[in-house]
Chain A
């Protein structure tokens, strides 16, 4: 027994040794290769293939290290890879800017983007009469001097609040009718036949292209109405189509069972159709939320005094690129936060799903 386990131990060590040797070997190759490349100015002229080779070597090392990681730390290691890779990219970016390879005018170093983000967050832009978050630390002071109006003014100057409120309002006004009409289309063949083709045709229209029509429809063409409407319309199509698909993919035998056990129309909807379609409805909502953010940033490029899209465009126009990147970064954060929030709601509403 003991001889057997010592044999297993020996094999394990051998494999371990081999893997360690592999890692060292790969690292040495990488160092030599990059040294040669730097010395011969290959980096400057052929940086694409060199980058590719470096990436492949990185994958080889990461995979070998993965074999050495004990099984209980594997999830942690996987997360480390997920966050470590972008961190390496950012570090390289920083390094390349400092070395003068990348032009800091167009590709400012991550550290200066972060600096710009801090600048945008804490400072009030007098020229545009706006700030990124609306300076929430002024709330008590404004409340004391101007009351509710003061707080409203703070909200009005916030780019993030402007974008978020447009996305959320549009998302709500688009998704609710989307769910209702999608349900009707899923349950009734006549409604489906009447709407399906038209919706598919309208769905492919770029939503930014209907913005002028929305501006005609609203009394204040430059106000919030048209912007929210375009987000709502984008959300509507996505939610309608996925809700319809969600209703249609319900197993017919579940509906037969409902009938056999005496469900009336309302009960059938409440206990069979709605829960059966919910997973698909939520994937539609997820798409709609992401698309809503994309659409609103595009619209803020076209016509907005305030909003994250406006931040990006404005700092591009005045060639303050670090702040432009900060705007892009804020958009990413918004997207991730919104999607994550929706996922939390989904987990509460659909507890039966396998995860």
Chain B
């Protein structure tokens, strides 16, 4: 079967006064239909840049990126969940969730039905008429996630979606994400700096090197689904975490070494 996402030999350089800076070097990735892939790496390794290249928000310098489109269903190629939520302060929660549908010209009635459906699933239906400034950080990110899911894209791209939340809220939302993903098992590329989160959510965890960003190692997570927060306290989870940390720690050390 043809993979859902194919990225081949992606290179990204930035121009600067001191010449070109290589951010991503020869990054290749294939993601199967319905697969949940997590990319972890030290800060500034180019993992967010790679995601923005997948999303078509940043042009690539060399290589190819291809997302397979389902010819029958007219779905948008990708929808992104941003770390900064990126929901609109001037739109109500309902209109924020319906945003992608509205941009695609879906009628008001239909898009509100879909939006309210997703709001119900993230537990925010009674906040449908609220404006974002009336919501907490966790609620805002739920709106952002609901907006992406309501858009029903071919692939879901998530850029450290829980990075701005406190530890407790992050754990709550990790559990919710697991449940939401089980609904239709979308293809997901998920960026995080938390190994725990990557193992909990992912079918596969990719560890990136720092400066320039390359694939260092790949791990298939064999922990059976459906998973839940309690999965994190099993021995196999701890074992997996130890193995991945072994691969990641040199990269983190390299970043710190450069900074100190």
Give the contact stretch, choosing among B73-81, B205-213, B227-235. Answer: B73-81
- Range of interface residues on chain A? 20 to 34
Q: B130's closest neighbor in chain A, by CB?
A: A352
Instruction: Compute how far the CA of A253 lies from the CA of B79 in the bound complex, rounded to whole angstroms.
Output: 14
Is B100 on the interface with A (CB-CB < 8 A)? Answer: yes
Contact with B along A75-92 (1 / 0, CB 8 A): 000000000000000000
Contacts of B147 in A (CB 8 A): 261
Across the interface, do B103 and A261 meet the contact criterion of CB distance under 8 Å?
A: yes
A contact residues around B63 at 8 Å (CB): none
Beyond the given A351-B131, A352-B132, please list 7 additional residue pairs across the A-B interface where CB-CB is below 8 A.
Answer: A256-B52, A256-B57, A260-B57, A261-B100, A261-B147, A278-B90, A352-B90
Q: Which residues of B contact A251 (CB under 8 A)?
A: 84, 86
Contact across chains for B88 and A260 when beta carbons are under 8 A apart: no
Known: A261-B100, A262-B100, A267-B103. A275 touches B88 (CB 8 A): yes
Q: Is the CB of B131 within 8 A of A260?
A: no
Q: What are 5 A-B pairs at a CB distance below 8 A? A: A259-B57, A261-B76, A261-B79, A271-B103, A278-B90
Contacting residues, chain B, for A253 (C-beta < 8 A): 82, 84, 86
Contact A256 B76 (CB under 8 A): no
| Partner-A contacts on B (CB < 8 A) | 52, 55-57, 76, 78-80, 82, 84, 86-91, 99-100, 102-104, 131-133, 147, 151
Name the contact of A256 in the complex, choosing from B86, B88, B103, B131 (C-beta under 8 A): B86
In the complex, per-residue mask of A293-325: 1 if CB is within 8 Å of any chain B CB, else 0: 000000000000000000000000000000000
Q: Which residues of A come within 8 Å of B, CB atoms?
A: 251, 253-254, 256-264, 267, 271-272, 275-276, 278, 350-352, 354
Chain A residues near B100: list those with CB within 8 A: 261-262
What are the residues of chain A within 8 A of B91 when measuring CB–CB?
271, 275, 352
Instruction: Describe A's contact surface by its main secondary structure.
Output: helix
Tell me which of A257, A263, A278 contacts B82 (CB under 8 A): A257
Among A259, A263, A352, which residue has the most Cβ atoms of chain B within 10 A?
A: A352
Which residues in A have their C-beta under 8 angstroms from that of B89? Answer: 352
Total A-B residue pairs with C-beta atoms closer than 8 Å? 60
How far is B91's CA from A278's CA once the two chains are assembled, in angstroms?
13
Known: A253-B84, A354-B133. A260 touches B90 (CB 8 A): no
Residues B133 and A352 in contact, CB atoms below 8 Å apart: yes
Contacts of B99 in A (CB 8 A): 257, 261, 271
In the complex, which residues of chain A have a beta carbon less than 8 angstroms from the beta carbon of B79? 260-261
Residues of B within 8 Å of A256, CB to CB, are 52, 57, 80, 82, 86
Cα(A251)–Cα(B52), bound, Å: 17
Among B57, B80, B88, B102, the one with the most A-chain Cβ atoms within 10 Å of its Cβ is B88
B65–chain A nearest beta-carbon distance, Å: 15
Give min CB distance, A261 to chain B, whole Å.
4
> What's the nearest-Cβ distance from chain B to residue A7, in Å?
39
Q: Report chain B residues within 8 Å CB of A278.
A: 90
User: How far does the alpha carbon of A271 sit from the alpha carbon of B131 in the complex, in Å?
Assistant: 15
The minimal Cβ–Cβ distance linking B175 to chain A, given in whole angstroms, is 25
Give every chain A residue within 8 A of B103 (Cβ-Cβ). Answer: 258, 261-264, 267, 271
B104 near A262: Cβ-Cβ < 8 Å? yes
> Cα distance A261–B103 when bound, in Å?
7
* Cα separation A264 to B103 with both chains bound (whole Å): 8
B88 cross-chain contacts in A, Cβ below 8 A: 254, 257, 271-272, 275
**Set of chain B residues within 8 Å of A350, measured between Cβ atoms:** 90
B92 closest partner in A (C-beta): A352
